[in-house]
Structure 1
Amino acid sequence: MTYHPKSEFMSVMIERGFLADCTDYQGLDDAMQQGVVPSYIGYDATAKSLHVGHLLNIMMLRWLQKTGHKPITLMGGGTTKVGDPSFRADERPLLGPERISENIAGMKAVFASYLTYGEDETDALMLDNAEWLDGLNYLEFLRDIGRHFSVNRMLSFESVKSRLDREQSLSFLEFNYMILQAYDFLELNRRYGCRLQMGGSDQWGNIVNGIDLTRRVIDHEVFGLTSPLLTTSDGRKMGKSQGGAIWLNSEMLSPYEFWQFWRNTTDADTGRFLKLYTELPVEECERLGKLAGSEINDAKIVLANEVTTLLHGADAARKAQDTAREVFEKGGVGEDLPTVELNMAELGDGISVVQLLVKTGLAKSGKDAKRLIAEHGARMDDAPLTDAGTMIDAGALASPIKLSAGKKRHALVKLTG
Structure 2
Amino acid sequence: MNFVEELRWRGLLHDIMPGTEEELAKGMASGYIGFDPTADSLHVGSLLQIMTLVRFQQAGHKPFALVGGATGMVGDPSGKSQERNLLSEEILNHNLNGIQKQLERFLDFDCGANSAEIVNNYDWFKSFTFLDFIRDVGKHITVNYMMAKDSVKKRLESEVGMSFTEFSYQLVQGYDFYYLWKHKNCVLQMGGSDQWGNIVTGTEFIRRKDGGQAFALTSPLIKKSDGTKFGKTEGGNVWLDPKKTSPYQFYQFWLNSSDDDAANYIKIFTFLNEDEINKIIAEHAAAPHLRVLQKALAKDITERVHGFDALETALKTTDFLFGNGSLEFLNSLDDEGVLQVFEGITQFEISKEEFSAGYDVLTLLADKTAVFPSKGEAKKMIVGGGVSVNREKVPAPEKVFMTSDLINEKFLVVQKGKKNYFLVIVK
Bigger mean CA deviation after superposition, 131-140 or 200-209: 131-140
What amino acid is aligned across from residue 178 of structure 1 in structure 2? Answer: Q
Find the aligned partners of 1:326 and 1:102 in 2 and give their Cα distance.
36
The answer to whether 1:109 aligns with 2:101 is: yes
Deviations 1:329-367 (A, max 9, x none): 1276763543469987799999999xx99xxxxxxxxxx
Q: Is the 8 A contact 1:267 1:296 kept in 2?
A: no
Structure 2 vs 1, CA of residues 351 and 191 (structure 1 numbering), >3 Å: closer, same or farther?
A: farther
Bigger mean CA deviation after superposition, 282-291 or 166-175: 282-291
Matches within 5 A, 1:295-310: 295=289, 297-310=291-304
Partner SS state of residue 216, structure 2? strand
Find the aligned partners of 1:409 and 1:155 in 2 and give their Cα distance.
54
Q: Is the 8 A contact 2:388 2:416 kept in 1?
A: no
Q: Is the 8 A contact 1:338 1:412 kept in 2?
A: no
Find the aligned partners of 2:320 and 2:12 in 1 and give their Cα distance.
36
Q: 1:33 Cα shift?
A: 2.1
The answer to whether 1:185 aligns with 2:188 is: no
What amino acid is aligned across from residue 116 of structure 1 in structure 2? Answer: D
Find the aligned partners of 2:255 and 2:32 in 1 and give their Cα distance.
31
Match of 2:322 among 319, 323, 328: 328
Q: 1:135 Cα shift?
A: 1.1
The answer to whether 1:338 aligns with 2:341 is: yes
Bigger mean CA deviation after superposition, 283-292 or 211-220: 283-292
Structure 2 vs 1, CA of residues 327 and 245 (structure 1 numbering), >3 Å: closer, same or farther?
A: same
Q: Please, which runs of 5 or more residues in structure 2 have no aligned partner?
A: 331-336, 356-362, 371-386, 392-400
Q: 1:241 Cα shift?
A: 0.9
Q: Is the 8 A contact 2:45 2:231 kept in 1?
A: yes
Match of 2:313 among 293, 316, 319: 319
Paired residues in the alignment total 376
Deviations 1:211-247 (A, max 9, x none): 0001111222111110000101121211111111000
What amino acid is aligned across from residue 260 of structure 1 in structure 2? Answer: Q
Q: 1:116 Cα shift?
A: 1.0
Matches within 5 A, 1:3-402: 8-24=2-18, 27-118=19-110, 120-290=112-282, 291-292=284-285, 293-295=287-289, 297-330=291-324, 335=330, 337-339=340-342, 398-399=406-407, 400-402=411-413
What amino acid is aligned across from residue 258 of structure 2 in structure 1? Answer: T
Partner SS state of residue 196, structure 1? strand
Find the aligned partners of 2:350 and 2:321 in 1 and give their Cα distance.
27
Structure 2 vs 1, CA of residues 12 and 119 (structure 1 numbering), >3 Å: closer, same or farther?
A: closer
Q: 1:281 Cα shift?
A: 1.3
Partner SS state of residue 167, structure 1? coil
Q: Is the 8 A contact 1:380 1:401 kept in 2?
A: no
Partner SS state of residue 42, structure 1? strand
Find the aligned partners of 1:37 and 1:411 in 2 and give their Cα distance.
54
Q: 1:148 Cα shift?
A: 1.5
Partner SS state of residue 36, structure 1? coil
Partner SS state of residue 73, structure 1? strand
Find the aligned partners of 1:10 and 1:254 in 2 and give their Cα distance.
34
Partner of 2:383: none
Structure 2 vs 1, CA of residues 188 and 380 (structure 1 numbering), >3 Å: closer, same or farther?
A: farther
Find the aligned partners of 1:307 and 1:52 in 2 and give their Cα distance.
10
Taking structure 2 as the reference length, the TM-score comes to 0.79
Structure 2 vs 1, CA of residues 151 and 406 (structure 1 numbering), >3 Å: closer, same or farther?
A: farther
Partner SS state of residue 224, structure 1? strand
Bigger mean CA deviation after superposition, 225-234 or 319-328: 319-328
Q: 1:322 Cα shift?
A: 2.1
Calculate the aligned-residue CA RMSD, in Å.
3.3
Structure 2 vs 1, CA of residues 331 and 226 (structure 1 numbering), >3 Å: closer, same or farther?
A: same
Q: Is the 8 A contact 2:349 2:424 kept in 1?
A: no
Q: Is the 8 A contact 1:72 1:127 kept in 2?
A: yes
Q: 1:122 Cα shift?
A: 0.7
Partner SS state of residue 121, structure 1? helix
Structure 2 vs 1, CA of residues 402 and 263 (structure 1 numbering), >3 Å: closer, same or farther?
A: farther
Partner SS state of residue 114, structure 1? coil
Structure 2 vs 1, CA of residues 132 and 235 (structure 1 numbering), >3 Å: closer, same or farther?
A: same
Find the aligned partners of 1:409 and 1:187 in 2 and give their Cα distance.
56
Find the aligned partners of 1:406 and 1:45 in 2 and give their Cα distance.
43
Identity of aligned residues (%): 36
What amino acid is aligned across from residue 87 of structure 2 in structure 1? Answer: L
Bigger mean CA deviation after superposition, 394-403 or 311-320: 394-403
Q: 1:413 Cα shift?
A: 5.3
Bigger mean CA deviation after superposition, 36-45 or 46-55: 36-45
Taking structure 1 as the reference length, the TM-score comes to 0.81
